[in-house]
Amino acid sequence: MYVATLLTNPNLPKLDEAVVETLCNAWGGSDPVWLSENEAAEFRFPALTDNQEAVWAELQLLEIDLIVQPLGKRRKLMLLADMDSTMIRQECIDELADEAGVGERVKDITARAMNGELDFEGALIERVGLLKGLDEAVIDKVLEERITLMPGGAELVATMRMNGGYAALVSGGFTAFTSKVAEQLGFDENRANTLLAENGKLTGNVQRPILGKQAKVDALEQITKRLGLSEADVLAVGDGANDLGMLGRAGTGVALHAKPSVAQQCDIRVNFGDLTALLYLQGYSRAAFADV
């Protein structure tokens, strides 16, 4: 048995009942269950069809996300989340680079690295090098003035924790940012790279070893082992090439507003919903979300 979840942008909810009913009937599904009016619905159906990808593409034109999963154990006991462009809207290093006057150069390197065109570690070293001499106090300025949370993140973390889940923020970015974002959103722990500074100025270097793609997989293995969980118990979310390892290993790996080269390697893609989509695909209704 499988379950299909259809959802759309919660700020512009336009999930049409007729669309849901038509797909449900075509796939021989049970009666749809509405998780949030005009925003998210699901139905169960007996077997996969050969037109699933074509249906997904058609629904994308209507700005509707379609997620198909085995019914199984959808509710997960651990959230493993990327930070930049996932739990927050920005790439922290790009915002620091703007303050340092090298924004365009760094943004180009970031985009290529996240798309898998450049080695992550080498790209990070190069970008951090361009920040050499930047006042360390700029980090707090960027946090206050430039960093905004991705919608739905607080609800996602709080709802999973309220239901016994553990939340870990694992980023290829920097601890100066993950520590603040993790605290604000209620994560249980966070891991990231450490920017090095001397006499109040960034040195242009980052502490070794660098946390990249493999380190996210390592975090998945280490945290699940420590908590006595299986990888099947994990819901992972990210958007960049350095997230692919953990997305592939987790029980449910979600590419959220991901780079095209990343999205095409993932079965679960959310392009229009926000982070609450990760609750809907676990079968939570909006009425079951934690108050934040």
Which residues contact residue 264 at a Cβ distance below 8 angstroms, ignoring those fewer than 6 apart? Answer: none
Sign of CA pseudo-dihedral 92, 98, 103, 106: negative
Closest to 280 in 3D by CA, of 247, 245, 256, 246: 256
Name the residues annotated as catalytic: 82, 84
